[in-house]
């Protein structure tokens, strides 16, 4: 997918004006406010930069516990359409959220070498719960893009918080799994020796380890890779986060590629809200395509969020086996999130 925000980097003012008009019969781009919660962090800062470059954003609210006024001042100097405001501290969270069309949540701690996703859960679950409580109060109709890990548990936490508040709409809550798709496309293109911008690979399941299931049998263009290559590509896609954590040797996790993936998905949400037809991305959403209440698959985005959740399509024997293996682990992660939200 080639997103307008990245074309913008290479465009002059004339082509920027045409970008703003593209896809809208009225010739005018709707006003859209996007809030980034955790904007001063490792993912939040590059994500804020990328959202500033997106011509579909008219207002960009950057929120974090501290440090956001500096990030906002820095990003505000970029000569693009959106107005920037920085908010710091819990007392300013409501202002950051009010009127938001899309809320992106990269808040929380990143994974460090040796950390399990359970370790992440123990810290990030409480952060997500408090942020979602505020979303339910200040912008209950916003599309919520959950990046905070472990997504397999934080999305169910958000759903439970919204249910308690009486604001839950399953069409508006998304776990952002786009980085799995980005990695699968990149790794497949390298192995198949095809241009990466032409590649498409659906990734289903969840967003951690073996719950990530790239469907290379459905990849386009078709490359007929041998079984051992498919297995290696699958494992590399599943372990992509660990690969980056280890390469950074304790100095961070996949912040830059995650920011890119988060910006791609937010762009798709904005296009859907604005009525652009046939916007399809993979995302971890409430779903009935498997026995699990949440599952990542291809989703059509529209004016109310989720327009349609697509089935898995034909799977290879290897993928069927992968699906069977991931179900118990994903089920446990979902239940863990639900239990946390209802106990604490």
Domains and their CATH numbers in the chain: 33-176 (3.40.50.720), 177-335 (3.90.110.10)
Mean pLDDT score of the chain: 92
Q: Report, as an integer, the average pLDDT of 288-302.
A: 98
Taking the whole predicted model, whether its pTM rises above 0.85 is answered as yes
Q: How far apart are CA 267 and CA 235, in angstroms?
A: 28
Q: Report, as an integer, the average pLDDT of 305-322.
A: 98
Helix or strand (DSSP H, E) at 277: none
Query: Residues 72, 85: contact at Cβ < 8 Å?
Result: yes
Among candidate residues 207, 271, 331, 336, the one labeled active-site is 207
Q: How far apart are CA 80 and CA 8, in angstroms?
A: 9
**Above 90 in pLDDT, residue 21?**
no
Token pair for 112: 């460090």
149 is in an annotated binding site: yes
**Above 80 in pLDDT, residue 192?**
yes
Q: Report, as an integer, the average pLDDT of 129-150.
A: 98
Q: How far apart are CA 268 and CA 299, in angstroms?
A: 11
39 is in an annotated binding site: yes
Query: Residues 261, 151: contact at Cβ < 8 Å?
Result: no
Q: Report, as an integer, the average pLDDT of 144-162.
A: 97
77 carries an active-site annotation: no
147 is in an annotated binding site: yes
What share of the chain in percent tops pLDDT 70? Answer: 92
Residues 6+ apart with CB under 8 A from 18: none
Q: How far apart are CA 322 and CA 231, in angstroms?
A: 10
Query: Residues 160, 294: contact at Cβ < 8 Å?
Result: no
Token pair for 261: 């993936």
**Above 80 in pLDDT, residue 20?**
no
User: Which residue has better confidence, 201 or 118?
Assistant: 201
**Above 90 in pLDDT, residue 217?**
yes
Indicate the SS3 state at residue 179: helix
- For 202-276, list the strands marked E by DSSP: 203-205, 212-214
Closest to 149 in 3D by CA, of 236, 244, 225, 269: 244
- Give the pLDDT score at 10: 41
Q: How far apart are CA 123 and CA 89, in angstroms?
A: 18
* Greatest CA separation for the chain: 56
32-59 b/e (C-beta count within 10 Å ≥ 16 → b) = bbbbbbbbbbbbbbbbbbbbbbbbbbeb
Q: How far apart are CA 333 and CA 343, in angstroms?
A: 15
- Give the pLDDT score at 118: 78
Query: Residues 297, 311: contact at Cβ < 8 Å?
Result: yes
- Give the pLDDT score at 252: 87
Token pair for 324: 């069977």
- Give the pLDDT score at 7: 52
81 is in an annotated binding site: no
- Give the pLDDT score at 86: 98
* Region of poorest pLDDT, from 9-13, 105-109, 260-264: 9-13
Residues 6+ apart with CB under 8 A from 328: none
Query: Residues 67, 89: contact at Cβ < 8 Å?
Result: no
Give 111's DSSP letter. Answer: P
Token pair for 289: 């395509």
117 is in an annotated binding site: yes
- Give the pLDDT score at 239: 97
- Give the pLDDT score at 28: 82
Query: Residues 165, 193: contact at Cβ < 8 Å?
Result: no
Task: Provide the 10 A C-beta neighbour count for residue 117.
Answer: 20
* Region of poorest pLDDT, from 2-11, 86-95, 102-111: 2-11
Residues 6+ apart with CB under 8 A from 254: 179, 240, 241, 244, 245
């Amino acid at each position: 997918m080639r997103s307008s925000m990245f074309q913008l980097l290479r465009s002059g003012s004339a082509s920027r004006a045409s970008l703003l008009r593209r896809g809208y019969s009225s010739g005018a781009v709707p006003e859209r406010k996007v809030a980034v919660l955790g904007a001063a962090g490792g993912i939040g800062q590059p994500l804020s930069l990328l959202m500033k470059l997106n011509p579909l954003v008219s207002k960009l609210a950057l929120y974090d516990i501290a440090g956001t006024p500096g990030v906002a001042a820095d990003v505000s100097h970029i000569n693009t359409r959106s107005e920037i405001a920085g908010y710091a501290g819990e007392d300013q969270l409501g202002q950051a959220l009010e009127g938001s069309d899309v809320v992106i949540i990269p808040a929380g701690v990143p994974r460090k070498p040796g950390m399990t996703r359970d370790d992440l859960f123990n810290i990030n679950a409480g952060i997500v719960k408090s942020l979602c409580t505020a979303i339910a109060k200040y912008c209950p109709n916003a599309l919520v893009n959950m990046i905070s890990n472990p997504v397999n548990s934080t999305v169910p936490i958000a759903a439970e918080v919204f249910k308690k508040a009486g604001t839950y709409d399953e069409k508006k809550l998304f776990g952002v799994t786009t980085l799995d798709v980005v990695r699968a496309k990149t790794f497949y293109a390298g192995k198949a020796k095809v241009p990466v911008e032409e590649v498409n690979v659906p990734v289903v399941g969840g967003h951690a380890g073996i719950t990530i299931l790239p469907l290379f049998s459905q990849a386009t263009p078709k490359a007929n890779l041998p079984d051992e290559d498919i297995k290696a590509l699958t494992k590399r896609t599943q372990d992509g986060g660990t690969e980056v954590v280890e390469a950074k040797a304790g100095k961070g996790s996949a912040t830059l590629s995650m920011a890119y993936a988060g910006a791609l998905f937010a762009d798709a949400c904005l296009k859907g809200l604005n009525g652009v037809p046939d916007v399809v991305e993979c995302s971890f959403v409430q779903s009935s395509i498997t026995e699990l209440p949440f599952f990542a698959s291809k989703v059509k985005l529209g004016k109310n969020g989720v327009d349609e959740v697509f089935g898995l399509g034909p799977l290879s024997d290897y993928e069927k086996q992968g699906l069977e293996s991931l179900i118990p682990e994903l089920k446990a992660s979902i239940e863990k999130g639900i239990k946390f939200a209802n106990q604490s």
